[in-house]
Structure 1
Amino acid sequence: MSGFKLNYAVLASSLILANAVSASERLIVSIELPTNQVESLQSGNSPRGAVLPVTGLTKSETCLILPSGDNWCVPIVKEALSSSAIAAQNSANGSRYVSMKVAVPDGLSLDQAEVLLKNTGIYRHVERDVAITSMKSVVANNWNATTPLDPEFVKQHQFNRNTKTDSPIESSVFAMWQLIENPLKDVSVYVFDTGFRQHKDIVYDVGVNTTVESYDNERNGLFLEDDFDPENLCNNSHGVGVASVIGAAINEVDMAGMVNDITLTAVRVMKCGNGFLSDVAAGLDWLSDGDPFLYDVSPDLPRFTGQPGIVNMSLGGHVASGCPFYLQSAINRAINKGFILVASAGNESKDASTNMPAACEGVISVGAAQLYDGSPDIAAFSNFGASVDVMARGTSVIGLSKDDAVIGWSGTSFSAPIVAGLLALLNKDFDLTNKMVKQLVTISGVTHWAEDSQCAALGCGSGILDGVKLYQNAVLYSNGELDSASYSLNVLAPCRQQWAVDNLYQGASLCNDVRLDLLGLRNIKANEAYRVVSVPKGQGASVELSGATVIGNFTKRHAVVSKADLTDVDVYVR
């Protein structure tokens, strides 16, 4: 630091504090006050520039000469009186002390500074300031590295690693935690629901209501069910249950949410469990600022000031004619703003293609899985079919309820927040669009269905979304390695390469074989295949790929083709 010699005694009061870089670079000094000074300080009669009866002190600081020749001016009582850090305490012999912080200048070590201050004889104690952090921060810094101590955590089965024998419908949440590189990054989650309640284990950052019970203005900044039910006639706690699966505090109380460091917003789109899709669309337009008239008709609705994030919609209504235009338009606007939309597939044991918003374009549709005598399959209540993207546990999902209770919930409503929680975790490390996330979801499922299962017959999307597989696929995508071509010899482990060369059929060469790994494709079903074609490099391809050369049809995502087929061409997969 420069400027120690330029009228530093005059500027000391401001410069000393301004140059305190961190708590580890500060010292705390304590001066013993004579009895008369203690009394005047306590009575408030002492002038701010009081001179203490200690030889060599003038007004508010004393200056020490450093080895460099610069002056180091340190504060005395005036600095203490102007600081909220005054600490006048009784000692064992009844003396009083004033303690104050002293910044250590650049080029001077703490050890050197401590010796200089002690040698002045001015200070009774010279001690190092100690950096601290709040307990909340300590928990946050380690939340993804240790097993939560929340009492109900042992029942939160979705945290278990997905295995064929022990946990075939779980989502490997805890194992995904270990992969996250930015656990303290704040992520935003928006829960569209009903029955939001206060609970000691959950914190809503903000909330709004977009339900309209009549044609006058009722959309506003209230969101708790009690705000709309003064007589307490509604017993619904669905919203707090869904929100808790994603974001209950990891704090050794009740249960653990899947994501810590989260901004959780409650969007009330139903009244005590029932509502209309138009109010869901209004909630989406609130997020995207997509409706220019929204605030005209609802001036009490606060402006959205949050960031794009995950939207969970554990709700639905049946529309046989497809997604309504007003709803699809609102969905499109939200997706274009960067939101990722998740919805429950429904609980009617029917084809999910008519359940909206889950079946609307761009929405990730989530069905429910269940164990039957240890065997995984679709839950008896869950909707199914081609419109379902992925599955998650759907029975005995631990969540919060009203009156500070913790209960086991069931339904696709509680499968969806498991998926939403995994995507919120993914947002810690990756900045992906809704379209890309939807693709990753369709290739990151794990299927342990038996051949005669209902899932195999009816359709359960890509299977149980596995957090570890999801994260690993996101890494591959970010590195440009999700779809790749490698020489077959390079794909083999080194110990197998020589064996392969020695045992090739006559005339064959692994140096001419290329392995295609098309991990961006979902698992190929038994009656499906994909076609790989090529066109001359740089010429592009029409939608019809007319004139393209067919390299081959394949039934697995890994295939071997000839090097010649990939030379100076662009390759397309259909």
Structure 2
Amino acid sequence: MSKKSLRTTTCLLAAVVAIAAPLTFAAGKTPLRAVAAAATPDPDARVDRLIVRYRPGAIERSNQQRLVGAVQSALNRSGIAAAGSASVQYVRKTATGADVVKLSRKLDRASAGALMRTLAADPSVAHVEPDLRAFHADQPVRAKTAVSPMLTPDDEYFAQYQWHLHHPTGGINATSAWDASTGEGVVVAVLDTGVVDHEDLNGNVLEGYDFITDPFVSRRETADRVPGAHDYGDWNDDGSQCPIRPSSFHGTHVSGTVAEMTNNGIGMAGVAHQAKVLPVRVLGRCGGYTSDIADAIVWASGGEVEGVPANENPAEVINLSLGGNGACTAGSEYQLAIDQAIANGTTVVVAAGNSNVNMSNFSPASCAGVIAVGATRVTGGKADYSNFGAGVDLSAPGGGGAVDGNPNGYVWQNINDSETAPEEGTQTYMGMTGTSMAAPHVAGVAALVQSAAETPLTPAEMETLLKNTARPFPVSIPGSTPLGVGIVDAEAALGGIVPPCEGDDCTPDATPIVNRSPVTGLMGDKDAELLFSLDVPAGASGLSFMTYGGSGDVTMLVSFAAEPTADDYDLRSTRPGNNERINIAAPKAGTYYIKLVGVAKFAKVTLEARHN
């Protein structure tokens, strides 16, 4: 393989107005330069698409004509559609059951806000939000790169350039983890700009799907969703739509961090280099729509999306290196899609954002149930652009840019060097910075864990494991800008997997409970398992186990002297809801194990054991 030029670029989030929808964290690039992006809001953001969710039973929920009429009526009542200047067209239904409508002309912020308030005042409307494209505001600064790679026995640029995988202070301890796991058998969905051909990545890429429904954004001729996730380039030469910028090939770089081919004597390495990447294209020219991204989240996790064939390779992990302004609320399109993914057993990893502000007002990073990732430098300290806050779960290498020099200021992976379409360029390797680069490190470590675990971890268990095994920050992180519990540590995460219980002396890891002392506030996701133990003395009688209260649905399994499983138990209670009960007239003296299994997500459940 010839020595291709290596370049640097940054990947910083541009802020948008409060009603804005997702934007990518990718930044543009030109040969031999680093690109810094300024986070500036767009004061003239326009809205021409809405996501409207009607309550169950509302006629509009099943009648497109009535829905369009209702939105048109709201336009008229808002005074926006004077003299018929704005009309409504139905677009489609989303995977979460909402409807997307398109207006015949764009509305400014004030008009869009008035329309949404009018719609929300209808008691049959559960939720309404804008479905916008978002934009970047790049300010390039030229800086030449060093291009003298040090060859290594394996991947030629690994030792010198990929500090983020092996550096003792700023890296994630990937090399130490690879003895235990390389991600084999795990699928990681990368929802991004798609991927391009690259010999150091192709072998680990599944076919994927293109979810973009706007031909201007996708650069395809139709609005149909199509198989494959080819990145046509996200450059823009039409300043009326969004800022003029070159292509980023962001999804290819992110996919490389997850699973670039490794130990093949060329290029660079990926965190989980025997995992498979499922590319899902949701971002193109001028960003991507909330409705497309949410549908892709559902599909990638194995859920159903109308008009799209079933996903034959459901992902155990989804990486979202994208986002935009606006807090993620319980009824939002993002949250409902993520809830479905989690219910399907998929861990969702999200970049925290690059505006150096509190993450609480960014979506989907602020959605419940995700692993939100901040960015650190080679020093292990906070990258100056990284969002922060109590909602950040942990951090990973994102690069510090010019302050740390080249190559240690950037995260390096495979990419295409074209400014426009990939066919105009060649495959190469490049450094980028951003929480976009941090998130796939965490997604890759999650893939390593799932590959090594005897039983796949639930999303909640995965988050707990990664946070419990994170490496403490090697430098002080100011209390005003928290970045989570530490830096993701691949080796420690694998070491934290609970091994199977074997041998005569092995006892299950259970939480002890006491006779007639209720255990309250129990909660978990669908398929979550909570194990408890009760020591019963000789001579006890009338033993009962019961659960009650709260929400959701649990099943209770009970065995004597061994942990019960779905296929091996002594007694079981499977009533609908949480009111489970098991009675044992003549209990044995010894330890009983009680397992609660989430048939659905449950919360505030009480477990109690009673005997005389």
Q: TM-score band (shorter)?
A: 0.5 to 0.7
Aligned residue among 220, 223, 242 for 2:229: 223
Partner secondary structure for residue 275 of structure 1? coil
Taking the aligned partners of 1:434 and 1:334, their CA distance within structure 2 comes to 9
1:306 aligns with 2:320: no
Normalised TM-score (structure 1): 0.53
Q: Counterparts of 1:231 and 1:207 in 2: how far apart (Å)?
A: 28
Q: Bigger shift: 462-471 or 219-228?
A: 219-228
More helix by share: 1
8 Å CA contact retained: 1:277, 1:317: no
TM-superposition CA deviations, 1:316-374 (whole Å, max 9, x none): 11113636522211111112222111110000101111221121111111100124xx5
3-state secondary structure, aligned to 1:206: coil
TM-aligned CA distance change 1:272 to 1:400, over 3 Å: farther
Q: Any conservation in 1 of the 2:194–2:280 contact (CA below 8 Å)? A: no
Letter matched to residue 380 of structure 1? D
Change (3 A) 1:385 1:541: farther
What displacement does 1:175 show?
0.6
Task: Give 1:120-519 correspondences, 5 Å limit.
Answer: 149-154=154-159, 155-160=161-166, 167-180=168-181, 183=182, 185-194=184-193, 196-203=195-202, 204-213=205-214, 217-226=223-232, 235-250=247-262, 251-272=264-285, 274-288=287-301, 290-291=303-304, 294-295=306-307, 301-320=308-327, 322=329, 325-371=332-378, 374=379, 376-395=380-399, 396-402=410-416, 403-430=426-453, 431-451=456-476, 453-454=477-478, 456-475=479-498
Distance 1:324 1:224, change over 3 A: farther
Matches of 1:190 and 1:568, distance apart in 2? 41
- Describe the superposition over 1:257-283 as per-residue Cα deviations: whole angstroms up to 9, x where unpaired: 122322221101111361122211110
Alignment of 1:19-98 (within 5 A): none
Shift of the alpha carbon at 1:228? 8.6
Shift in CA distance, 471/148, structure 1 to aligned 2, threshold 3 Å: farther
**Cα offset, 1:535, TM superposition:** 11
CA contact (8 A) 1:290 1:330 kept: no
Query: Helix, strand or coil: the match of 2:498?
Result: helix
* Maintained 8 Å contact 1:308/1:337: no
Size of the aligned set, in residue pairs, is 342
Maintained 8 Å contact 2:329/2:335: no
Alpha-carbon spacing, 1:464–1:225, altered in 2? closer, same or farther (3 Å): same
Alpha-carbon distance in 1 for matches of 2:162, 2:384: 21
1:505-560 Cα offsets, whole Å, 9 max, x none, are xxxxxxxxxxxxxxxxxxxxxxxxxxxxx99987779889xxxxxxxxxxxxxxxx
- Tell me the equivalent position of 1:13: none
Deviation at 1:413, TM superposition (A): 0.3
Structure 1's 481 and 380: CA in aligned 2 closer, same or farther, altered over 3 A?
A: farther
**RMSD over equivalenced CA pairs, Å:** 3.8
**SS of aligned partner of 2:437:** helix
Give the secondary structure class of the aligned counterpart of 2:319: strand
Equivalent-residue separation in structure 2 for 1:370 and 1:477 (angstroms): 37
Q: What is the rounded CA distance, in whole Å, between the counterparts of 2:546 and 2:356 in structure 1?
A: 45
Counterpart contact for 1:240–1:401, Cα < 8 Å: yes
CA distance in 2, matches of 1:240, 1:435: 28
Deviations 1:189-228 (A, max 9, x none): 1110015322221112212111121797431124222289
- Aligned pair in 2 of structure 1 residues 254, 328: CA closer, same or farther (>3 Å)? same
Cα offset for 1:568?
A: 12
Residues 394 and 415 in structure 1, CA contact (< 8 A), matched pair in contact too: yes
* Alignment gaps of 5+ in structure 1: 1-146, 162-166, 296-300, 487-533, 545-566
* Rg larger for: 1
Alpha-carbon deviation of 1:234? 5.0
Q: Counterparts of 2:228 and 2:388 in 1: how far apart (Å)?
A: 35
Provide closer, same or farther for how the CA distance between residues 291 and 260 of structure 1 changes in structure 2, counting only shifts above 3 A. Answer: closer
Asked if the contact 1:476/1:482 (under 8 Å) is kept, the reply is: no
Residue type at the aligned position of 1:384: F
8 A contact 2:302–2:315 mirrored in 1: no
Letter in 1 for 2:397: R
Q: Structure 2 vs 1, CA of residues 318 and 229 (structure 1 numbering), >3 Å: closer, same or farther?
A: closer
Given that residues 208 and 223 in structure 1 are in contact (C-alpha distance below 8 angstroms), is that contact kept between their aligned partners in structure 2?
yes
CA distance in 1, matches of 2:507, 2:463: 18
Specify the code of the residue in structure 1 equivalent to 2:157: E
Taking the aligned partners of 2:375 and 2:183, their CA distance within structure 1 comes to 30
- How far apart are the structure 2 equivalents of 1:285 and 1:225? 21
Secondary structure at the counterpart of residue 197 of structure 1 = coil
1:21 — aligned with what? none
Q: Distance in 2 between matches of 1:309 and 1:158?
A: 24
Post-superposition CA distance 1:30-64 (Å, at most 9, x none): xxxxxxxxxxxxxxxxxxxxxxxxxxxxxxxxxxx
Q: In structure 2, do the counterparts of structure 1 residues 302 and 470 end up closer, same or farther at CA, with 3 Å as the change threshold?
A: same
Sort the Cα spacing of 1:150 and 1:323 in 2 relative to 1 into closer, same or farther, 3 A. farther
Structure 1 residue 307, shift from structure 2 partner: 3.4
Q: Summarize deviations over 1:413-452 as a string: whole Å, max 9, x none.
A: 000011111111112111111111011122111113545x
What is the distance in 2 between the residues matched to 1:309 and 1:148?
Answer: 32
CA change 1:394–1:543 in 2 (3 A) is: farther
CA distance in 2, matches of 1:198, 1:324: 38
Going from structure 1 to structure 2, the CA distance change for 1:229 and 1:378 (only over 3 Å counts) comes to closer
Q: CA deviation at 1:481?
A: 9.1
